[in-house]
Amino acid sequence: MAAFQNSLRVHRTLVALLSLMASANTALSQFCDDGSGNYCDVSPEGCDSISRKLSCREAWAENGITFSNNLTQFYFGTVDGGLDQTDRYGGHGDYVANFDFGKLGVQEGLFLKLRAEHRFGRSIVEPTGALLPATLAADLPATDSRDLYLTNFVITQALSESFIVFAGKVDTLDGDANAFAHGRGIKQFSNVAFVANPIALRTIPYSSLGVGFAYLLEGEPLLSFLLINPTNTTTSSGFDELFSEGIAVSVEMRVPTNLAGRPGHQLVGATYSNRDYTSLDQDPRIVLPQVPIDRASDSWSLYWNTDQYLVSDRSNPNRGWGYFARAGIADNNTNPISSFLSAGIGGSSMIDGREDDAFGLGYFFYDTSDEIGPFLNAALGGIGDSQGVEAFYNFQANKMLTITPDFQWISQARESVDDAYVLGVRANLAF
């Protein structure tokens, strides 16, 4: 019954969103009038009738409503080692809508961001035997469901050009930003080790209710603060358990740098939660059995990352390639990963004529907790350190489609499982 009620809440929210979009479309029709009485409506015929050839989507964007959608398909196999040599097909749908209520004539500086996600098929995560998912997005937003969930519903108010406040249901995967190793697992690397620092995953849930603020520098967050419910409420509204188990806090500072006229960043962050931890939670961002642990209150993590262009296009400084690195430590009593390190190179292709392609090559290492390890030993056998490598090349087939061959080598934290060699291809349709 609870699952049905949660699905019903999401359904009602999506229906309300569609109603809002329909109302906005009616309001925006005035901006598409070409003087002959032809308006831009949601039908292709309506758009084709506009003499100035302004598409419906462009008209919406000019007046405050934008969409950014991705449908990503994964076909990956464990070609050697791991728990099982097999192949799997899965996918992930990611649908984002942004509303600028200033342009819509409601209130200046007021914004709304919505994200809905679902998954389908099966991922290669389980056959690899690895604790860090090799194809993160294929298991988001929830590993045990293929339903569509609203993972982000955030209202933002700009109080000035450099200061914003926000509140709502927050999807935290956009944190720990990096120019070459981020991309939500669909545009750059696939392994979670190169999407965000896994050291912070224990304290900060994937999606939950929260509030925060950010100082901006040239439109990008310089300092951000987030106060969030410490439990994951991806599949529900989250109001029923809001702060019932305490709070979680995340603080990040991302400072732009300039090395020989080329852009880069230095990021430092910290997380803290006063939640009582009595077991390892199920989380699509890290594969762990749900086993009890010694009761511990509070958890924390500290992390750092950097990106730096070594070669950049003079006409477009954000096109080029460079290096990245991440590091972090966490509370040994509550976090299964006590320390983490990754490094690599990535960016735009260096092949002439293929400037829209991208590539990445990265290495990661993590140390498992001495305190959590014994509990994992009972469920998984011996537990030790782990390391791995991922390499990908992203072919830009056309403006909407990218095709990405990917190879990974994973040295297991589970001592009873052989190293996994993972080979696959990812296709992302952006629309």
Q: Is the separation of the CB atoms in 361 and 347 below 8 Å? A: no
Structure tokens at 361: 């090559």
Residue 80 and residue 53 share a domain: no
Indicate whether 343 and 405 sit together in one domain. Answer: yes
Indicate if 17 and 134 belong to the same structural domain. no
CA dist 104 and 100 (Å) reads: 6
Q: Residue 47 is which amino acid?
A: C
Examine the domain organization and report whether 265 and 401 are in the same domain: yes
Which of 63, 87, 113 is a domain's end point? 63
CA distance 74 to 61: 30
pLDDT one-digit tens code per residue, 284-327: 888 877 777 777 788 999 999 999 999 988 777 778 999 999 99
**Which of 32-41, 149-158, 344-353, 371-380 is least confident?**
32-41
Reported as a single tens digit per residue, the pLDDT across 20-34 is 444 444 444 444 444
Whole-structure pTM value: 0.84
Tell the residue number behind the tokens 């229906």, with chain if given: 15
**Distance (Å, rounded) from C-alpha 241 to C-alpha 19?**
28
Whether the pLDDT of residue 410 is over 60: the answer is yes
Lookup: tokens for 53 = 């050839």
Number of domains in the chain: 2
Question: Do residues 20 and 138 share a domain?
Answer: no
Whether residue 289 sits in one domain with residue 184: yes
Average pLDDT over residues 352-366: 94
Q: What tens digit of pLDDT does each residue of 76-111 get?
A: 999 999 999 999 999 999 999 999 999 999 999 999
**CATH classification of the domain holding 221:** 2.40.160.180
Question: Residue 243 sits in which domain range?
Answer: 69-430
Task: Give the list of residues 6+ apart from residue 58 with CB closer than 8 angstroms, or none.
Answer: none
Which band of pLDDT confidence, cut at 50, 70 and 90, is reported for residue 270? very high
- The yes-or-no verdict on residue 12 having pLDDT over 90 is no
- Whether residues 56 and 8 fall in one domain: yes
| Residue that terminates a domain, selected from 63, 78, 112 | 63
pLDDT of residue 60: 86
SS (H, E, C) 264-286: EEEEEEEEEEEEEEEECCCECCE
How high is the pLDDT of residue 46?
47
Three-class DSSP labels, 20-44? HHHHHHHHHHHHHCCCCCCCCCCCH
Same domain membership, residue 88 and residue 57: no
Q: Are residues 302 and 352 in the same domain?
A: yes
Which of these three, 39, 63, 87, is where a domain ends?
63
Together in a domain, 134 and 244:
yes
Same domain, 261 and 146: yes
Same domain, 82 and 1: no
